[in-house]
A and B are shown apart, each in its own frame.
Chain A
Amino acid sequence: MKRRRFIQSLAAAPAVPLVAQQAAPPAPAPQAAPPGGPFGRTGPADPPLQTVAADLAAQPVAPVFCNAAQFAALKKLGSLLAPPLAGKPGALEAGAPEFLDFLLSVSPAESQKLYRDGLNALNAQAAKQFKVPFAELNATQADAILRPLLSVIPWVEDLPKEPAHRFIAQAQRDFRTATQNSREWAAANANSGRRGRGFGGGIGLYWLPIDPVKG
């Protein structure tokens, strides 16, 4: 038996308890389907209404997690770690800082602390070395702060333990994912006739909640 038929045959088992069957009123006589239009009733046979994604209609409110100084540093960091290359959008074009700011707002406290402390440390170091916030550094100045904090990570679970190094390693990973999984990255791939690797601008099969418990 084909898998689909098997699933259907399982689904065909009686689902209405006997008591409910006895209490059910007589079936109504067949009626014509109600008319459509603005006040008509929709049913399973009707096609779903066309909707648009929120990010096509509106801009995200940001920052919600960072303060202004932290968010400026986050955007600067994104522009350095994931610049636009080879016709692909960079972190800024992909809205990655705004997205990560949202993601951090719903993340565990440990992740929030890593970013908050890390961004504050970048600003503090920039002020100490160059008397300006991190966001206002030129490329050479930013490199002088960033490069000593870079790490090699041979195993995915082994982010550096030292907080400043760990923050930069995590931010690199997050900016890469947020940029490559953006609508803008997918559009650039489509324009070049390529699908991204993995989920990079690609399409996958999403499992909806399966028979979720209510309440």
Chain B
Amino acid sequence: MKNVNFVKKISKHLPHYISLIGIFVATVLAFYLFSYDRFFLVGVSLAFSLAYIAWGIIHHLIHKDLTFLVVIEYISMSVLGLIIILSLIFRN
């Protein structure tokens, strides 16, 4: 029953999650295909971080549950992800 609810919830937001997964797949592909181009990877990292924050804001805005703390949460996740990736790019 719980699984059914979870699937229902995901299905309801399917267009949102498809776009999110699309961003992620494009990012991973960019890292795989252009691993030799450090500056391009930095650009991709910045772009996906901003895209994730934008996705969070738009998603919660549409569902009318956007709060300041939610925005901070997405920013925190993005900053953490960005630091992890940039550390590896520049440490290489």
Do A and B make up one complex? no
